[in-house]
Amino acid sequence: MTYDLVTTLRPLLTAEASAEAHATGTEPGDLEQAVWLRLLERLQTEGPPLDPPGWLRRAVRSESRRTRRTTRFERPYDTEPADDGDSGPEQLTLAAARRRALHDAVRRLPGRCPTLMAALLSPRDLTYREIAGELGISQGSLGPERSRCLGCLRRLLTPEVAARGVRG
């Protein structure tokens, strides 16, 4: 049943997402991925829609509006939030050591995590769209991939930053 529904709706979703994506400033594939996810959620809770094509059109427009709303409020940082204005030689040295440790850990990450994390840490302050274009992956996949890479990075850095004191 689900396979037939996906097969039937795929061409319509591709056309609808292509038509709506440009107005939202997102990639059609990202919009498609969001609608497929919404369909899976619906199938788990309510079952298949009574009018699948109509439901799909409404879902695409709804996801398109949600994307427009969220991108309207996204702004790049002018400076790093943790930066403070007075940086003495000690703070500069410690910051440089932290950056070196971070970049060393990033290089040890598995798979395509090193390139993704390097793009995220780039001083050029790339947007998700630019990073997705550079890496050749969909913009919607960046969040889950970033989350997985950050988890790996956290596990790599934990021994280096964990408190070395007596517990208990």
Q: What average pLDDT does range 44-52 have in this prediction?
A: 90
| Distance from C-alpha of 27 to C-alpha of 41, rounded to nearest angstrom | 22
Q: What is the mean pLDDT of the chain?
A: 82
Quote the strand ranges of the chain, DSSP E. none
Closest CA to 109 of 76, 151, 67: 151
Per the confidence metrics, is the pTM higher than 0.85?
no
Say which CATH architecture domain 90-161 belongs to. Answer: Orthogonal Bundle (1.10)
- Name the pLDDT band for 165 (thresholds 50, 70, 90): low
| Distance from C-alpha of 135 to C-alpha of 122, rounded to nearest angstrom | 14
Q: Give tens-digit pLDDT for 18-42.
A: 888 877 777 888 889 889 999 988 8
Closest CA to 18 of 64, 51, 54, 75: 64
Query: What are the structural domain ranges in the chain?
Result: 2-73, 90-161
| Distance from C-alpha of 64 to C-alpha of 141, rounded to nearest angstrom | 17
**Token couple for 144:** 């889950």
Q: Under a CB-based contact definition with an 8 Å cutoff, are residues 128 and 142 in contact?
A: yes
Q: What is the DSSP letter of 165?
A: S
Q: What average pLDDT does range 129-146 have in this prediction?
A: 87
Q: Give tens-digit pLDDT for 68-114.
A: 887 777 666 555 555 555 677 888 888 888 888 888 889 999 888 99
| Distance from C-alpha of 17 to C-alpha of 61, rounded to nearest angstrom | 9
| Distance from C-alpha of 168 to C-alpha of 115, rounded to nearest angstrom | 40
pLDDT recorded at residue 27: 83
Residue 60 has pLDDT above 80, yes or no: yes
| Distance from C-alpha of 118 to C-alpha of 121, rounded to nearest angstrom | 5
